[in-house]
Amino acid sequence: MLPELYVLRHGETHWNAARRIQGQHESRLNDRGHAQAAGMARSLAAQGVTGATHALRSSPLIRARETAEHVASAMGVTGPVATDDDLKELYMGDWQTLMYDDLIAQGTGPRAGDSHLDWCLRAPGGERLDAFWDRAGRVLERIEGPTVLVCHGLLSRVLRTQAMGWGPDRLDELPGRQGDVYRIRDGIHSVVSSNE
């Protein structure tokens, strides 16, 4: 069983608000995203999470690092936040930087019964589930003690699904909203706070 794990999705970005596909492309937090990041940081502080009790690691993508800076400040972590390339979002290939609504208008939107991840995994030239699943698994294998991970929507779901000991068929059972703090402790998944 893993040590206590907090998983945070980065706050809202300008591209999230515009419905533009990010994948591993860079986009900064907007004002709402900074407010969400500050709220998540306060929630962790209320749980007694500090740099002395938990490690902090972030995706190197700027939206996650900006979120992690809020968290680091609340945790009393000084210096640069440790980053891990395996915490990056799903690579969306040819769809990165395109508008969701344009893809839908072109007939390449989600099919009936698709989850969001199912649709994203069809991106031409994009990352496939086996590689994405393995990447998340490597993150969990490196965890040595209680840890806070700051990452992305799809990666967050895969990490938490694996941490629960579930398979890919259960990915849609976990929430993935921005602004929420997810905790896995003693094999139990919970939402610590909701900032929406």
Angle, CA 156 vertex, CA 151 and CA 160 arms, to 5° = 135
Please give the distance of CA 13 from its chain centroid, rounded to a whole number: 13
Q: Which of 10, 54, 70, 189 is catalytic?
A: 10
Q: Quote the CA–CA distance of 36 and 29 in Å, as a whole number.
A: 10
Q: Give the 3-state DSSP-derived string for 149-176, with helices as H, strands as E and coil as C.
A: EEECHHHHHHHHHHHCCCCHHHHHHCCC
The rounded distance, in Å, linking the Cα atoms of 27 and 143 is 28
Q: How far is CA 85 from the centre of its chain?
A: 13
Set 66, 69, 89, 127: catalytic member: 89
Helices (H), the chain: 14-18, 31-46, 62-75, 100-105, 116-120, 129-141, 153-163
Report residue 121 CA to chain centroid gap: 16
Q: 89 an active-site residue?
A: yes
Catalytic residue list contains 10: yes
Give the active site residues.
10, 89
